[in-house]
Amino acid sequence: IALPTVSAAQDKYPERPITIVVPAAAGGPSDTVARLVADAMQADLGQQVLIENAGGAGGSLGTGRVAKAEADGYTLLLYHIGVATFGALYPTLPYNPGEDLASVGLVTEVPMTLVGRKDLAPSDVAALFTWLKGEGANATFGTAGVGAVSDLCGKLLVNATGIKMNVVPYKGTGPAMNDLLGGQIDLMCDQTTNTANQIKGGDIKPYAVTTRERISILPDTPTLAESGLKDFEISAWHAIWAPKGTPEPIRQKLAESLAKALKNPTVIERFAALGTEPVSSEMATPAALDEHFQSEIKRWSKLLAGSAKQ
């Protein structure tokens, strides 16, 4: 007897709106990427693709919700490199990111920037580090919490310079940016998707980009490596995951829709204006994300050994 390989429900998928959980506040970098991709995917899938912001604990809470959600293709996760660090940073995490999530595909890789409030006195990175060691020793550094890439960048800066900073955690760097603009905090290391417009508008002070090379939308901003932190490099890759056990045909359909969304001219144009670009079609696949995610989990568990939040 020939058994059907695809059940009726999978065949008809999606029959109702899909929710993408973004485990960070609205208006921040993950939210921006997710909304652009969701708009393009919903046109392709013929169903609404809704964004649900569930920030807190660096994104580890909202990610856990997806890890434990029904594996039916109606609850997805869009987040970033942080998901590969949660295991190392949260020893009592009630789920295992590497095992409880099923890959859909990579989305983009976003450069980061070390930025300060507009009227911060130091004029360049060297002056900033000198200031932080003296007069600016109580400076505040806004992040989206432990596990967020803004926090990860801060940890790498502390490791590279030995300078301690007063970290102020938010539910996402959208609200942290509001406080930087308002002068309530001094510094952030955040993605260009959240900083490029404010830098171009002269509303915050750019100190450095965290990529190996300078980036085309901020040609006058030096790299941290140029500024004396040899080999300093971090950027935020983003991806979409489903809960483990999501049927293969559904995952495949989502991956195809993601790959199409990443070819959408509006998505390409909006990403470019924010300093990034979509990954290639070969990377917007479950297999490519599986490989990347597992190798990132290994890399960060070594780099973050001893950094666990108690």
Residues that bind ligand MLT (CB under 6 A): 24-25, 28-31, 82, 144, 148-150, 172-174, 190-191
Min separation Cβ 173 and ligand MLT, Å? 4
Min separation Cβ 24 and ligand MLT, Å? 3
Give CA–CA dist 102/255, Å, rounded: 11
- Tracing tokens 């400076």 back to the chain, one arrives at 139
- Tracing tokens 């001893």 back to the chain, one arrives at 306
Min separation Cβ 35 and ligand MLT, Å? 11
**65, two tokens:** 């919700």
Between 71 and 240, name the residue whose CB sits nearer to ligand MLT.
Answer: 240
Q: Which of 238, 236, 264 is nearest to 106 (CA)?
A: 238
Min separation Cβ 139 and ligand MLT, Å? 18
Between 42 and 143, name the residue whose CB sits nearer to ligand MLT.
Answer: 143
Min separation Cβ 22 and ligand MLT, Å? 7
User: Strand 18-22 to strand 49-53: parallel, antiparallel, or no bridges (unpaired)?
Assistant: parallel
The letter for the amino acid at 93 is L
> What is the DSSP-derived secondary structure letter of residue 4?
P
Q: Which of 137, 214, 143 is nearest to 177 (CA)?
A: 143
Cis peptide, bond prior to residue 14, ω within 30 of zero: yes
Between 85 and 264, name the residue whose CB sits nearer to ligand MLT.
Answer: 85
